[in-house]
C-alpha cells in the first residue's frame, strides 16, 4: 500500500513538471519564429506571385478550353444537321432557319472570344473577381516598388538642390558685401572729388583774380608808356583830329580776344594814322591780311 502511494506521488510530480517543459518549448518556438519572420514574408511574397501567375494561366486555359468545347459542339451540330438530309428541312423550314441563325450567332460570338484570347495571352475578364483582385494587388505592389525606387532618387536630388541653394545664398551674401564696399568707396570718391573740385575751383578763382590784376597792371604800364613816348599827333593844323597809337593797339587787342576766329581790324581811311600802322608792323606787333592790305590783326604770340 505504501508502494502504491509512492507511485502516485511520482506520477503527480511528473504531471507538475510537464507544463514547465511545454512553456520552455513554446519560448523556443517563438524565438525561432521571430528569427525567421523576414524569410517567411519573403517566401510568402514569392508564393503569392507564383500563385497569381498560375491563376492567370489557369484562367486563360479554362477560357480557351471552354471556347474550344463550344466550337466542337457547334461543329457536331452542323454535322448532325447535315446528316438528317432534305426531309427535315422541308418538314419545318422556319424552325430549321431559326436554329441555323442561332447557331451562326453563337459561332460568331465564340470565334470572337477565341480571337481575343489568341491576340492577348494575359487578357483578364471583369467577371472573374479573383483575377481582378490579383491584378489590383499587383498594380499596387508595382506602384509601391516604383515609389521605393524613386524616393531615394528624389531625396538625393532634393539634397543636391539644397546644397546648390546654400551655395547661391553664400554667393549672394558675398555679392551684397562687395556691393556695400563699392558703394562706400564710391561715396568716398565722390566726397573726395567734390572736395578736390571745390579746392580747385577756389584755386582757379584765385588764379583768375591774380591774372586779371596782372593784366590790369600791365595795361596801366602800357598806357603810361604810350602816353609818354607816343603822344597824340595832329597831322593837319586845320584839322583838329588827333591820332594816338594806343587807340589802334587797343582795337586789335580787343578783337584778338572777342573774335579769335576773325581778329582782323578793317582800316578805314582817316580813322588811323598810317605811320602808326607801319610802326606796329615793323615792330612785329601787328600783321596785315595776306590778301587784303586794309585789314590788320595782332600777332599770335602764343602759336
DSSP secondary structure string for all residues of 64-108: HHHHHHHHHHHHHHHHHHHHH-HHHHHH-HHHHHHHHHHHHHHHH
Name the residue with higher pLDDT: 264 or 35: 264
Residue 1 has pLDDT above 60, yes or no: no
**How many CB atoms are closer than 10 A to CB 264?**
18
pTM: 0.34
The whole-number average pLDDT for the span 91-111 is 72
Q: How far apart are the first and last CA of the chain?
A: 162
Give the whole-angstrom CA distance, residue 178 versus residue 78. 98
pLDDT at residue number 80: 78
Are 272 and 303 a contacting pair, CB within 8 Å? no
Task: Lowest mean pLDDT of 28-32, 205-209, 226-230, 279-283, name the range.
Answer: 28-32
Average per-residue pLDDT for the chain: 76
The whole-number average pLDDT for the span 236-244 is 73
Sign of CA dihedral 165, 170, 171, 173: positive
Give the whole-angstrom CA distance, residue 162 versus residue 39. 39
Residue 264 has pLDDT above 90, yes or no: yes
242: DSSP letter? -
Name the residue with higher pLDDT: 203 or 86: 203
Strongest mean pLDDT among 2-11, 35-44, 143-152, 251-260: 251-260
pLDDT at residue number 126: 46
272: DSSP letter? S
Q: Confidence band (pLDDT; 50, 70, 90) for 97?
A: confident
pLDDT at residue number 37: 61
Q: Confidence band (pLDDT; 50, 70, 90) for 23?
A: very low
Q: Confidence band (pLDDT; 50, 70, 90) for 174?
A: very high
Residue 279 has pLDDT above 80, yes or no: yes
CA distances from 76 to 65, 73, 79, 81, 91 (A): 16, 5, 5, 9, 21
Name the residue with higher pLDDT: 61 or 198: 61
Angle at 157 between CA 156 and CA 162, to 5 degrees: 95
DSSP H helices, the chain, are: 2-35, 37-84, 86-91, 93-119, 129-229, 245-258, 274-282
Amino acid at each position: 500500500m505504501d508502494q502504491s502511494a509512492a507511485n502516485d506521488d511520482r506520477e503527480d510530480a511528473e504531471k507538475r513538471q510537464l507544463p514547465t517543459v511545454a512553456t520552455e518549448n513554446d519560448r523556443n518556438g517563438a524565438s525561432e519564429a521571430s528569427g525567421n519572420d523576414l524569410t517567411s514574408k519573403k517566401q510568402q511574397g514569392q508564393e503569392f506571385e507564383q500563385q497569381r501567375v498560375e491563376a492567370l494561366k489557369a484562367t486563360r486555359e479554362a477560357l480557351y478550353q471552354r471556347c474550344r468545347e463550344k466550337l466542337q459542339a457547334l461543329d457536331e451540330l452542323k454535322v448532325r444537321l447535315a446528316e438528317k438530309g432534305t426531309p427535315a428541312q422541308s418538314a419545318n423550314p422556319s424552325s430549321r432557319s431559326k436554329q441555323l441563325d442561332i447557331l451562326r450567332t453563337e459561332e460568331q460570338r465564340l470565334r470572337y472570344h477565341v480571337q481575343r484570347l489568341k491576340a492577348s495571352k494575359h487578357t483578364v475578364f471583369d467577371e472573374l473577381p479573383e483575377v481582378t483582385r490579383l491584378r489590383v494587388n499587383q498594380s499596387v505592389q508595382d506602384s509601391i516598388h516604383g515609389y521605393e525606387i524613386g524616393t531615394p532618387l528624389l531625396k538625393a536630388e532634393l539634397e543636391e538642390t539644397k546644397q546648390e541653394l546654400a551655395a547661391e545664398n553664400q554667393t549672394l551674401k558675398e555679392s551684397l558685401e562687395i556691393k556695400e564696399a563699392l558703394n562706400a568707396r564710391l561715396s568716398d570718391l565722390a566726397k573726395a572729388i567734390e572736395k578736390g573740385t571745390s579746392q580747385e575751383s577756389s584755386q582757379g578763382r584765385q588764379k583768375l583774380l591774380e591774372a586779371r590784376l596782372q593784366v590790369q597792371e600791365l595795361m596801366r604800364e602800357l598806357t603810361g608808356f604810350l602816353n609818354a613816348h607816343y603822344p597824340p599827333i595832329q597831322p593837319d593844323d586845320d584839322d583838329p583830329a588827333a591820332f594816338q597809337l594806343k587807340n589802334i593797339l587797343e582795337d586789335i587787342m580787343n578783337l584778338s580776344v572777342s573774335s579769335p576766329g576773325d581778329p582782323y581790324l578793317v582800316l578805314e581811311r582817316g580813322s588811323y594814322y598810317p605811320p602808326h600802322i607801319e610802326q606796329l608792323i615793323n615792330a612785329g606787333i601787328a600783321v596785315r591780311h595776306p590778301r587784303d592790305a586794309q585789314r590788320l590783326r595782332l600777332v599770335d604770340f602764343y602759336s
